[in-house]
Amino acid sequence: MKDMKWFEDMEKRIPTGEVRTRFAPSPTGYMHVGNLRTALYTYLIARHNKGRFILRIEDTDQGRLVEGAVDVIYKTMAECHLDHDEGPDVGGPVGPYVQTERRGLYKEYAELLMERGHAYRCFCEKTASEEDAGDFDRGDDPCRFMSREESDRLAAEGRPYVIRQLIPHEGATTFHDESFGDITVENSTLDDQVLIKRDGLPTYNFANVIDDHLMGITHVVRGSEYLSSAPKYNLLYEGFGWDVPVYVHCSPVMRDAHNKMSKRHGDPSYEDLVNQGYLTDAIINYVTLLGWSPRGEQEIFSMDELVDVFDISGISKSPAIFDIEKLKYFNSEYIRAMSPEAFAKLAEPYIRRSVKNTAYDAAAIAALLQQRTEVLTDIPGKVDFFDALPEYDTELFVHKKSKSDKDSSVAVLKRIIPIFETLSDWDDEHIMAAMTGLAADMEAKNARVMWPVRIAAAGKAVTPGGAVEICRILGREETLRRLNVALEKLS
């Protein structure tokens, strides 16, 4: 074990006097919704309190690592405006910020804990899975009662061992959580969890406590599944004589009343939601509200507004149900609030999936879509009729509300075609005037003319935009060709 000066020097490095939070993902390939929510809450707590937000990569579970997953973490955080003040890529005063690069630290602290009588070497033969799970009855563990001299002798002989936490048999441990309040657990129900595995790497539970302390973390945000481990964390802090951070345990995000969201069951990750046509800002807004309630009625928040209003007291201890329809609502609100130019740029790749003909202006088509789009992936199917008139049934010309039927549609098309052919200008104003003029001449409502023109031009009952806009974007020549096709079908 290092001398005490080394430990004292480590203490001197720890930043104090500010709120410090950390997001500590494992690089396992994608950012699930619960992970994103944890990242958001840790970020918002730090920013709301003018503190520091730290990224730490927890890669001690080497078996679960996925190549390229660290890049996914960086990319997701950048897209979600989660700019970190310290981390593997930007450095900081308490690095390194990758757990495997800190592996030399953990054994030293485990040995310090043994010196203080809060840990012991265990030489019993156990499988790695049992060690990781802490699945071991300490009452049957002879190593717990072994003298320090005997333990040192066996270790010096090269006998493999793990280091376990020595949990008191008697008494109880009480910890405080910001959402769940004070929780007391009988020490007799806690297991002597493994702190250092046989390969010298720390377990998740031990590395977390050491890193959180040495990085000066003041608020620890994590899932409520870690509530059962919190007493053991507390006993570790007490064993070292360290202050316990503020615990914020968040209840799970659920698919429904009975099932947690899970990638294995096909529930979407952040990347999936983006690929399904949801805007990052809408996802951030919605995910923040999964288990946190602002004061007042406001639901739509920018990131800056969330920083202003975020308060730990608003975090609920009840599970939150992920509702894709609610996310769609948020997404459509964000789309409608965009500038037309920004939406046109965003929508163009989706428009071009089905409208390959560059003669059709993507920005003009986008203008029809902005108020009618919930998710971006709906766009190709809404506008495919521009490239090619679909096959359609003439029953589409029958519409009670517009007082349109096949015979009236024939009459309208026969009269509008020559009017369109002689229009001086092909723009909204002249196209509209041509159709309303014909309706007046026929002593009919405008819809009686516009319904058959739109069906003939688009070949669909439901379209973004009406007859005027569709005809204008198609152009005079293509509009007339399609109206003549309809006349032929109806005749």
Which residues have a catalytic role annotated? 263
Query: Whole-angstrom Cα distance, residue 447 to residue 444?
Result: 8
User: For residues 100 and 102, what is the distance between their CA atoms, to the nearest angstrom?
Assistant: 5
Pairing of strands 52-55, 20-23: parallel
- Within 10 angstroms of residue 348's Cβ, the number of other Cβ atoms is 16
Contact 348, 376 (CB under 8 A): no
Give the β-pairing of 172-177 and 162-165: unpaired
Q: What is the dihedral of CA 315, 318, 322, 326, to 10 degrees?
A: -70
Give the Cβ contact number of residue 216 at 10 Å: 20
CB 476 within 8 A of CB 420: yes
Distance CA 129, CA 120 (A): 19
Nearest to 78 by CA among 66, 94, 90, 67: 90
Asked whether 10 and 214 are in contact (CB, 8 A), the reply is yes
Backbone angles phi, psi at 353, to 5 degrees: -65, -30
Residue 410 has a CB neighbour count (10 Å cut-off) of 17
Q: What tokens were used for 375?
A: 């998710």
